[in-house]
Amino acid sequence: MNTRRSFLKTGLALGASAAVLPSLAQAVAVEQPSPAANAAAKDATKEKSVLVAVREGSRAAMLDKAMAELGGIGRFVKKGQLVVIKPNIGWNATPERGANTHPELVGAMVKLCRDAGAARVVVFDKTCDKWTDTYSRSGIEAAVKAAGGEMAPGNDESWYKDCEFPKGKILKSGKVHRLVLEADVFINMPVLKHHSGSLVTASMKNLMGVIWDRGFYHKASLHQCIADFVTFRAPDLNILDAYHPMFRHGPRGKTVEDVVEKRMLFASTDIVAIDAAGAKVLDREPTQVTHIGMAQELGLGVMDLSKVDIRRHSLA
């Protein structure tokens, strides 16, 4: 296995700026194009972010369809690589509560990665409840092992390494789980739900589970810190579990009455676009979720879904 791990940054793929040709009628003085014209020309040549939205199927079937639309698992995972998957496993709750990513979906992704030739597929989270209980009761530990993956602890400080985040506005440093640093491929698999502090828990918020001191986020600036971390390590792929999102009492939830069955799944390399879509499912405008706008300002993705190539599929 390779010991040297690369940090794969995911963002918008930018094409070359379009040249604005002067009119042949302007024989003497050629007027320079306006800033607005230049911006329009750039927008015309920019490759759009792709967001896949699948609905009305089993979790595994929707994942298969989404991955096929994105070019297949082989686009992301190569033979012999270390794949690290970060679901939400924060809470000691059974799957029907919607507090954690569903084990069927996590197990299906582990299997896809193993079938693609990954040498190891490792899953972890820094949990809010006791990690051994959440790993077990969520059903994720059993699903991961059945699919040929491994579970790693997220609540042991010895697994974390000090890192600097030079592009962060407020989050400038912190201890990051070493699996995130070593991964050839980093896959983010949050569950969609309401959150009392950040309004929405989706892809960016889920990454708080790879930092040792997430209490700093709440003391400093929750939304800015959520966006800042992505400048350091953006996931290579985001899969958002929106099968039965939690609409109230998040992030833990109280009963199954807090979830609403939507039978949806989103997939994208654009972490801003996928969270904007998740916000809409929860009846929020992306502009209402502060960290989504902050992440766009940092150049981490596109919040305006009208500028995203949304590929919709129904398996019904």
Number of helices followed by number of strands (H, E) in the chain: 11, 12
**What is d(CA 247, CA 31) in angstroms, rounded to the nearest whole number?**
54
| Beta-carbon-side half-sphere exposure of residue 44 (alpha carbons within 13 Å) | 10
Region 280-285 average pLDDT: 96
Tens of pLDDT, residues 84-130: 999 999 999 999 999 999 999 999 999 999 999 999 999 999 999 99
Q: Of the ranges 24-33, 58-67, 118-127, 227-236, which one carries the lowest mean pLDDT score?
A: 24-33
**Measured distance CA(151)–CA(135) in Å, rounded:** 8
Taking the model in full, what pTM does it have? 0.85
- The residues near 145 (Cβ < 8 Å, ≥ 6 apart) are 151
CA gyration radius for the chain?
20
> Where is 290: in which H helix or E strand?
helix 290-297
Contact status, residue 162 vs residue 246, Cβ threshold 8 Å: no
Host H or E run for residue 87? strand 82-87
Q: Quick one: DSSP state of residue 267?
A: E
Q: In the structure encoding, which two tokens stand for residue 161, read together?
A: 């390494």
Does 164 score more than 70 pLDDT? yes
Integer Cα distance of 108 and 225 in angstroms: 31
pLDDT at 113: 98
Q: What angle do CA 121, 195, 60 make, to 5 degrees?
A: 35
292 near 286, Cβ under 8 Å? yes
Q: What angle do CA 196, 200, 201 make, to 5 degrees?
A: 100
Peptide bond into 251 cis (omega under 30): yes
Q: What confidence category does residue 250 fall into, taking pLDDT thresholds of 50, 70 and 90?
A: confident
Q: Which residues of 257-273 are buried (b: 16+ CB within 10 A; e: fewer)?
A: ebbeebbbbbbbbbbbb
- Could you tell me which residues come within 8 angstroms of residue 162 by beta carbon, excluding any fewer than 6 positions away? 173, 174, 175
Helix axes 271-281, 290-297, angle to 10 degrees: 160
> How far is it, in rounded angstroms, from Cα 96 to Cα 66?
23
Instruction: Say what percent of the chain tops pLDDT 70.
Output: 85
What's the full length of the chain, in residues?
A: 316
What b/e sequence results for 101-123 when a residue is b if at least 16 CB atoms lie within 10 Å of its CB, and e otherwise?
Answer: bbbbbbbbbbbbbbebebebbbb
> Using one digit for the tens of pLDDT, what is the confidence trace for 3-39?
334 433 333 333 333 333 233 233 223 344 454 444 4
- The two beta strands, 237-246 and 160-164, are unpaired
Going from the N-terminus, what domains does the chain have, and what CATH number goes with each?
A: 49-314 (3.40.50.11440)
* Distance separating alpha carbons of residues 75 and 71, to the nearest angstrom: 6
